[in-house]
Amino acid sequence: MNPLDEAMQRRSAAAYVAYGSSADADIRYLTHFQVTDPLVYVKKKGEQGIIIVSTMEYERAKRESMVQVMSRNEAGFFEFLKEDPAHREKATARMIAALAGGDVLVPPQFPFLLGKELETFFPVSVEKEAVKGMRAVKSAEELNHLRLVQRATDEAMKTALTLIKKSIPRGEMLVYRDKPLTSEDVKAALQKHLIDHGCIGRDTIVSCGPDTALPHLTGKGPLHPDEPIIIDIFPQAEDSGYFADMTRTVVKGEPSKEITEMYLAVQEAQSRAVSRIRAGISGADIHQDVVDFFKERGYESDSQGFMHNLGHGVGLEVHEIPVLGAGGESLQAGNVVTVEPGLYYPEHGGVRLEDMGAVTDGGFERFTRCEEILIL
């Protein structure tokens, strides 16, 4: 049985309702439709979902969406609106109630005011898990989308690494074509490659030196020789909406002894984690194994050292379930996760390595192909 049908049966609900644009990953997943303006999604128990869209989007939705399509006029919205033109939420709620025909389940992000209006017709309850669980286990088509965006991400990373490799140490800065090589220069090269391959990168991290001790500091200004440079890319494919996520740490020149040792420890931690990933093992167990490994090597897991989860799910959002961290549940075949151990110390800088791949019954199918190399 469909997980949404199971949730409706368990909660004695007649329908599941969502509202929003395809910027909401649940909406995009359920409808297979990309749209800027909000739409209404209604799925009755045992039936296919329906989307209600504006007249402007109706023909495109019929062509592109994988569910049934109704216009707002067909669904009665404008007749309901005539009764109280100042309150569109009330008309929308009446339209939804007429389609649902009984108690309604909604996602946590459902608009509050619309939910209150809908409650004047039928009881409304929040359903947190069903769609998240559906999204966590990828279909063959989704796995292919993720492989494709990771391929573009690999090539973008190689572009960045080549740029840094071609730079020349000059005093306290790296120089490329007689100009200081900056974080902004590397980001621009990355973004151009991603755009050329149908992807969009946001909040890309290119940090250097002490800044690398702050895991999500995006970085700015000149890059320096002999210091760690962390590059973290998590672009989204424009056509499919799926993300990739990867990180590399490099040094142009000679890294310190501490950074070299940290890098080797992070690399071994990643290998250990990858070797343990398979369907049935919990994300919490894999994470704890890495915590214990780092502790044995003298690296703590607190406000510095290893200070974040080992990994996370990736799909229509760059961070989704399952979690490889404390409280992480059993992995399932079809999950796509990152494996990203890291170590961070203000006095030395940081090191992080991140690959992405699919959980299978027998192990981990790594999608990331870009090599790991510390010294460029």
Average pLDDT in the chain: 96
Which pLDDT does position 85 carry in this prediction?
83
Span 9-18, average pLDDT: 96
Element (DSSP H or E) covering residue 18: strand 15-20
Instruction: Determine what percent of the chain is predicted with pLDDT higher than 90.
Output: 97
Span 20-30, average pLDDT: 97
Span 109-118, average pLDDT: 97
The helix/strand/coil state of 225 is: coil
Distances (CA, A) of 117 to 51, 87, 221, 257: 19, 10, 51, 63
CA distance 20 to 316: 15
Check the CA dihedral 251-257-263-268 and report its sign.
Answer: positive
pLDDT band at 14 (very low <50, low <70, confident <90, very high): very high
Q: Where are the alpha helices (DSSP H) in 167-282?
A: 183-196, 257-276
Neighbouring residues of 311: CB distance < 8 A, sequence distance ≥ 6:
273, 283, 287, 323, 324, 325, 337, 338, 339, 340, 354
Which pLDDT does position 302 carry in this prediction?
84
C-beta contacts of 69-74 below 8 A and 24+ residues apart: none
Architecture of domain 137-366: Alpha-Beta Complex (3.90)
Span 138-147, average pLDDT: 98
pLDDT band at 8 (very low <50, low <70, confident <90, very high): very high
Which pLDDT does position 236 carry in this prediction?
98
Residue with tokens 């929003």: 20
Class of 3-135 per CATH? alpha beta
Which pLDDT does position 92 carry in this prediction?
96
Q: What residue segments make up the domains of the chain, in order of their start?
A: 3-135, 137-366
Which pLDDT does position 1 carry in this prediction?
80
| Closest to 367 in 3D by CA, of 172, 175, 143, 160 | 143
Which pLDDT does position 95 carry in this prediction?
97
Q: Could you report the per-residue pLDDT of 60-100, keeping only the tens digit for each?
A: 999 999 999 999 999 999 999 998 887 899 999 999 999 99
Contact 350, 342 (CB under 8 A): yes
Q: Could you report the per-residue pLDDT of 145-193, keeping only the tens digit for each?
A: 999 999 999 999 999 999 999 999 999 999 999 999 999 999 999 999 9
Within this chain, domains 3-135 and 137-366 share the same CATH topology: no
Q: Could you report the per-residue pLDDT of 296-320, keeping only the tens digit for each?
A: 999 988 889 999 999 999 999 999 9
Span 101-111, average pLDDT: 97
Which pLDDT does position 84 carry in this prediction?
83
The helix/strand/coil state of 97 is: helix
Neighbouring residues of 25: CB distance < 8 A, sequence distance ≥ 6:
135, 241, 315, 316, 317, 320
Which pLDDT does position 300 carry in this prediction?
86
Q: Could you report the per-residue pLDDT of 353-366, keeping only the tens digit for each?
A: 999 999 999 999 99
Contact 368, 274 (CB under 8 A): no
Span 197-217, average pLDDT: 97
